[in-house]
Amino acid sequence: MLRTSTRSSEASFDVFGAGMRPPANETDEDKARRLEAEREALRVSKTIDAALLEGKKVLERKKRAVKILLLGQSESGKSSVLRNFRLAFTPRYFESERVLWRTVIQLNLISSIKKILNTMHEEWTEAESASSPTMLTSQHRRLSLALSPLLAFETSISQLIASDAGGNGYGVTVRPGGGWKDRLTASLGRASGAAPALGVSAEPPTGGSGQQDPTQVTQVLAACRDNIIALWEDDAVRAVLAERDVDLVEEPGFFLDDTPRVTALDYVPSDRDIMRARIRTLGVEEHSFVTESGFRAGTEFFITDVCGSSHQRSTWIPYFDDVQAILFLAPLLFWQSLDEDTKTNRVQDSLELWREIVGNPLLAKTAFILLFNKKDILQAHINAGVVVKKYVPSYGERANDVPSVTKYFRDKFSAYLRKFSPEPRPFIFYETEAIDTKSTAVILGEVQEQIIRNHLKDLDVM
């Protein structure tokens, strides 16, 4: 009897139900709090489940998407190639961002003016301290004073775009993730209904958030146009810049020769302007989009753009996993050295980097496409009489022309691919001019088709 009674007692006891029962002597207030806590716990649980489901969907999308890695040293033109990709295959998206690039280009122009004014200030400071003559006159001081309000705009709007990225001496600098576009779009949206004030003031107007209104840059640049042209075309200013080895024409984001057009009130950036615009991303940025045109329109791409500075290359390895193709940019700017290491030749650095990448066992199955970018700059310097063997002694007595230079370096890169690749793979290369949107679109069309065909084979679709 005792055993039967025990079993009956155990069977009637619900452990889980007991835990869910309201506490004894629960007040109405306690009950309300308990029910609210249960609802909040349920809400959090559903949120977590939804996040996990969304994460699973993203992973599934990525499995079927085409994944491309853009590699190359800093200033190799990766961002311009990415913009070309957008222009060629997602033209509606590209068009929607055109107004944002107007502000970036305007800041590029102001950055060049700032460098000129800083160089002039250095000239005056050194001349005064050494009691020596200078080519700059009182007229140049008046120009400097008239253009100085532009610097307030450059600082404030760069901070708006850059958020916490800081300038770091590289002009417009942003963190990865596209947040700068959201901030700038919001700021332009807030200012769109405001009536712009013409002229230049010592304290340019600001938006409601305390940041200066980006739309005012257009007005101020238009008011300063004649002074900007006078400054840039001045022989004495050009001489001071040359004496101090300040070559603005060679720098990314150079628009001083386009001042009349860029400072117009109705200025709308051309496709070529957007390719030339300079904005520096710190870190790694992933871009995902579905192609609107081209081979297999509707294909989703994930393109990862990594910072090319030598001190950040150790962060690349995690992005090698499951990538179908690497677009490796190697401008043949053999007369230049790295910004972060003036003793290292740019092309030699590209070769060493190429050797490391093609030899990485994690990338044994990855397709490599080499882009000899900035061929227009190479052509211009060869035409100007730059002698290759002066900078690359091993070049020897080969012809000092673009086809010979390209072949020489192509053979170098090809030899490294054959020697260091874990498995044999084809050598695919193109000569590109990133700011030439039409020819680059044709090349990227071929690249897109090659990558997608290989990807479909991997998925056993073809």
Please say whether the beta carbons of 253 and 276 come within 8 A: yes
Residue 376 labelled as part of a binding site: yes
* Structure-block tokens of residue 331: 């401008």
175 Cβ contact partners less than 8 Å away, ≥ 6 residues apart:
162, 163, 164, 165, 281, 282, 283
Residue 152 labelled as part of a binding site: no
Residue 400 labelled as part of a binding site: no
Residue 218 labelled as part of a binding site: no
What is the Cα–Cα distance from 459 to 54, expressed in whole angstroms? Answer: 23
Residue 114 labelled as part of a binding site: no
Closest CA to 110 of 245, 214, 234: 214
Helices and strands (DSSP H and E) totals, the chain: 18, 8
Residue 205 burial (CB count, 10 A) = 15
Measured in whole angstroms, the distance separating CA 306 from the mean position of its chain's CA atoms is 9
Give the C-alpha distances (Å, rounded to integers) separating 461 from 62, 65, 75, 390, 453: 16, 13, 38, 52, 9
325 strand-pairing partners? 68, 367
Please say whether the beta carbons of 134 and 123 come within 8 A: yes
Residues of the binding site: 281, 373-376, 434
Residues of the binding site for GTP: 373-376, 434
Residues of the binding site for Mg(2+): 281
